[in-house]
Chains A and B, each alone.
Chain A
C-alpha cells in the first residue's frame, strides 16, 4: 500500500495555480526527488504533503499507518535560526513534540529516542554545543536528527544542500542515502537535477503540471530529462 497517494491534486499559491492536476504515489522505501525550475510548484506541493496548505481540489491520502504528524520535515533554514541561542540537544529533543499532545515535559522514553537519533547522525559530541556555532553541514545533521525524532517512516527535505560546500553536500547526500537504505522513505525537493538523478530512485519533474514521474533511469532517457541534464554541466 502506498505511503502517500495524490489524486488529481490541484493547489493554489496566492491565487495562482501552482500545482495542476498531479497524480502520483509514494511507496514505502522510495527515494523520490521533486525537481523543476523556480516557481514550478515544488515547494507548494511539499507544503501540501505536509498539510501546511490545503488542496484546492483532488486528494492527498496517507496510507500504511502514516499520520500527517508523523512526517519528518527538514525545512529550509530561516533567518531566525542563524543566530539562535539553542543547544543541539534542545533542538533535537523538540522533534519529539508531536508525540506529546498537551503533556508539558519530555518523558525518559522521548529523551532516549532523541539520544538514539543523535548517535545515528553522529553528532553525540556536539549535543552541548550551540546551534549557531555549528557549520552548515553540522546544522543539517542536527535538523535531520530532529526530523527523525518525529518519524519512523518518511522524511521530507526542502532543498537540504542549499548553501553547503561541496564536501558537506556529498556527506549529506551520503547520510540521506544511508537512511533510505535503513528503510526510511525519502522525498526531497531539489534544484540540482544532476545530483538528484544520481541519488534518487524516482524523479518527479514539476512544471505546474506533472512533467515526468518515474524512475531516475527512465528520466535520463526521456526527452525532458535529456534536455535538463544536457543543459547543465555541474554534476
Chain B
C-alpha cells in the first residue's frame, strides 16, 4: 500500500491530476448538496454533456479546450436553470434533450475531423494525462474562486435551498443566487471533466451529497461530511486506479458507490435502533 502511494506521487502528471482532482471534488461536493436538495441533480449531468460537445468542437477547430468550453457550459447552465424554472417543456425532459443533442454534435464533429481517437475517449471517460501546467493553474484558480464564493454565501445558499419562497419574501434575490450556483457548477464541471470524463463527472456532484445525507441531520453536517467523503473517495479512487491500472474516473465512481452503500447501511441501522 505504501509502495503504491509512493509510486503514485513519483509521477508529476499524477500529482497534477491529484491536485486538480481534490480541489474539484471539494467544489463538486459543496455545490452538490444544494443541487441534490433542490432536485437539480440532472443539471450537472446535462452540463457535462454540453461540455463534451464544446470540447470536441474546440479540438476540431484547434482552439484551447478550456477557453471554449467554459463560456459555452456557463451559458448552457443559465439556459438549463431557466428551463427548470419556467416550464413550458418540463425541466428534466429539456435537460435530456440538450444533453443528447450536445453529445451528438460532439460525436459528429469529431468523426468528421479527427475520427474517434484517444483524445475523444479521454474526454468521454477521463484521462489523467490530459492536464497541462496551464490547465492545472486555471483549474486551481477556478476551484479557489468556487470555494471562496461558497463559503461567503453559505448562509444564503442554505436559505434558498431550504425555502425559496421564504427567502424571496424576505428580500433575498433568489434569482441571482440560483445563477451563482449554476455558474459555479458549470465551472466545476468543465474543470473536473478532464480528469473524470464527461460521462462520469456528474457522479462527483451527486454521490457525496447523497452519501452524507444518509447519516447527517444538519445542513452544515451534510456539507462538511460530503466534502470529506468526496476528497476521500477521489484520493482512494486514484490509488485504486494506479494499483490496478484501471481508468481513474471509473475507479473514483466505484469507490464513491462503495462508500455510499456503507453509509446507507449505517444510516439504516441507526434508524432501526431509534425506532
Write the residues of chain A forming the contact surface with B, with a CB cutoff of 8 angstroms. Answer: 50-52, 68-69, 71, 73, 75, 78-81, 84-87, 89-91, 94-95, 97-98, 100, 104-106, 129-130, 133, 146-147, 150, 156
Contact = CB atoms under 8 A, between A and B. Distances in A.
Contact of A75 (B151, B158, B163): B163
Contact of A87 (B39, B166, B171, B218): B218
A94 B162 contact: yes
B217 interface: yes
A123 to B, nearest CB: 15
B154 A104 contact: yes
Contacts, number: 89
26 contacts: A51-B169, A52-B168, A52-B169, A69-B170, A73-B165, A78-B163, A78-B165, A80-B38, A80-B161, A80-B162, A81-B163, A84-B37, A85-B213, A85-B217, A85-B219, A89-B218, A90-B158, A90-B218, A94-B159, A95-B170, A97-B155, A97-B156, A97-B159, A104-B151, A130-B217, A150-B170
B162 A86 contact: yes
B171 to A, nearest CB: 3
A78 B222 CA distance: 20
Interface of B: 37-39, 151-156, 158-159, 161-163, 165-172, 213, 216-222
A98 B216 contact: no
Nearest to A149: B170
Q: DSSP majority for the B interface? A: helix
Given A68-B171, A73-B169, A97-B170, A80 B37 contact: yes
A80 B262 CA distance: 25
Nearest 7 A/B pairs, CB to CB: A69-B171, A130-B217, A87-B218, A98-B170, A73-B169, A75-B165, A50-B169
Contacts of A104: 151-155
Contacts of B166: 73, 75, 94-95, 146-147
Given A78-B163, A80-B37, A98 B152 contact: no
Contacts of A71: 169-170
Contacts of A52: 165, 168-169
Contacts of A91: 162
A95 B151 CA distance: 19
Nearest to A86: B219
A97 B163 CA distance: 12
Nearest to B222: A85
A95 B172 CA distance: 11
Nearest to B223: A85
Contacts of A50: 168-169
A140 B158 CA distance: 19
Contacts of B154: 104
